[in-house]
Amino acid sequence: MTLIFSWHLPFRVHAREMVGNAYARRFDNASHVARHTLDREKPMLEKILAWNKGVYDSALPVFLQHLLLNSLATFVKTGLWTADGRWRQYESFSCNDMEPVHLHGYRSIPLSFLFPDLTENILDTGFAVTQLPCSGYVPETLGEGLVLLPHTLTRPHVRTRTFTRAQSWTPTHACMSTYMKAQQRSAA
């Protein structure tokens, strides 16, 4: 007996922004998702097992084999593909930071080699959009799931933090302040 759990959530909200899910363009409802999965169950499993065998039977170093196989699991578990085509990943199950720069080390190798379009998507619709032109500053993350600012998938967020005397009012902070004021004026 085959048991399939399927869902269809076209109206996904992230940080108070209706971002939807990309798969809603492909499937009409949960039954459609289940039928698609059932019809392709055997070929999908065969492809997964062939991929695993190909990697493990290769001459690649063991650490790289594990990296290629285990890193892909995070794409499915923490990935978010919005209805308008933006690809993002949460930091982890327990942290709702979106696309933190410090995690791209382990994600970037399989992402760049196997899904170069997703890498380009993150750069073009994420970091290029949020990079500050006056300083080149790139935010640590592309947003947090619970912040009150709208559109955190495409705009930098500001965390409250205490600056030391050496850090206070550097050109980057001045640029960020100018940027945020401009964003507030354009939103008004």
Q: Following DSSP, what letter does each residue of 57-72 receive, concatenated? A: TSSS-HHHHHHHHHHH
d(CA 19, CA 40) in angstroms, rounded, equals 28
pLDDT reading at 21 higher than 80: yes
Secondary structure letter of residue 186 according to DSSP: H
pLDDT in tens, 97-109: 788 877 776 777 7
Quick check: is 45 in a domain? Answer: yes
> Which residue type is seen at 57?
D
Question: What is the residue type of 55?
Answer: V
| Confidence (pTM) | 0.64
In a domain, 8, yes or no: no
Buried b (16+ CB within 10 A) or exposed e, 46-57: eeeeeeeeebee
At residue 53, the pLDDT reads: 96
Q: Where are the beta strands (DSSP E) in 108-155?
A: none
Residue 6: inside a domain, yes or no?
Answer: no
**What is the extent of the structural domain holding 72?**
13-187
Task: Tell me how far CA of residue 58 lies from CA of 55, 62, 69, in angstroms.
Answer: 5, 9, 13
From CA 148, how far away is CA 156, in angstroms rounded?
Answer: 12
d(CA 97, CA 144): 4
Q: Is the pLDDT of residue 7 over 50?
A: yes
Angstrom distance (rounded) from CA 60 to CA 117: 24
Examine residue 3 and state whether it is found in any structural domain, yes or no. Answer: no
Across the chain, what does the average pLDDT equal? 76
Residue 163 resides in a domain: yes
Q: Higher model confidence: residue 162 or residue 18?
A: 18
Residue with tokens 């942290």: 95
Task: Report d(CA 141, CA 139) in Å as an integer.
Answer: 5
| Domain presence at residue 141 | yes
Counting the structural domains of the chain, the total is: 1
CB atoms within 10 A of CB 146: 10
98 burial type by CB count under 10 A (0-12 exposed, 13-18 middle, 19+ buried):
buried
Residue 67 to residue 63: CA distance in whole angstroms? 6
Q: Is the pLDDT of residue 175 over 70?
A: no
pLDDT of residue 169 exceeding 80, the answer is: no
Quote the pLDDT of residue 150. Answer: 41
For the stretch 24-34, pLDDT in tens is 989 999 999 99
Q: Is residue 105 part of a domain?
A: yes
Rounded mean pLDDT, 150-164: 39
**Per the domain annotation, does 5 fall within a domain?**
no
